[in-house]
Amino acid sequence: MMMACLKIILRDLRVALKQGLDAVMVIMFFLITVTLFPLGVGPESNLLARMSPGVIWVAALLSTMLSLDRLFQHDYEDGSLELMLLSPVPLEAVVLSKVAAHWLLTGLPLVVVSPLLAVFLNMPNSGLGILTISLLLGTPVASLIGAVGGALTLGARRGGVLISLLVLPLYIPLLIFGVAAVDAAIAGLPVRPHLLILAAMLAAALPMAIWASSAALRQASE
């Protein structure tokens, strides 16, 4: 089963890199969104430093949503989804593999780029490491929650709009504790409680989102 999951991840990565659109689009959207804030609020460094954790987290969560409507759409349209349902590999493992590929294409690049943009927004050095750790914990949760939205809206018209309405409210706890962790690090306060909550969200989302996505995919294929 591990080899089958690895093949699915490599297949999705290969297809995405061949097209080259999703990964580039996510990074460009992230960069443009973050750089718009100094233009809108002014170049005052203290204000940008106070806003930087929230700006980066909001931009990261919005960026992860860009390709959610295509997470299962291609497999649904070309019939691959039905083959996955009939294959000996559990559908839950297939969903987990596709979510992992989505995170590698969207979440991981955001984690890598975010410290550079944090410096651009004048974030203190004390917050850079915690920002990276919080995004490492939070972006997989965003992909897992997004997979549920992508599976529920599979085959629906204007699915991208529906995904936004379904997923954005569920991103609010991620945003609150992710930003709070960075703010605590900058203020010299303990960050462990916030990071533990993010880790608990990841531990809870992993089985629940995979199960919900699999159930929605089975329903969509009927």
pLDDT tens digits for the chain (222 residues)? 677 778 878 887 887 777 666 678 888 999 999 998 888 887 788 888 899 999 999 999 999 888 787 788 777 777 777 777 777 778 888 899 889 988 998 899 999 999 999 999 999 999 999 999 999 999 999 999 999 988 888 766 665 677 888 899 999 999 999 999 999 999 999 999 999 999 999 999 999 999 998 888 888 776
Surface-to-core class of residue 173, CB atoms within 10 Å of its CB (0-12 exposed, 13-18 middle, 19+ buried): middle
CA distances from 89 to 106, 118, 127, 173, 205 (A): 25, 42, 42, 33, 21
Name residues whose C-beta falls within 8 Å of residue 66's C-beta, 6 or more positions apart in sequence: 22, 25, 26, 29, 106
What is the rounded distance in angstroms from the CA atom of residue 144 to the CA atom of residue 124? 30
Surface-to-core class of residue 40, CB atoms within 10 Å of its CB (0-12 exposed, 13-18 middle, 19+ buried): exposed
Q: Return phi, psi of residue 190, to 5°.
A: -60, 135
What is the rounded distance in angstroms from the CA atom of residue 105 to the CA atom of residue 30? 13
User: Hey, what are 76's tokens?
Assistant: 């649904």
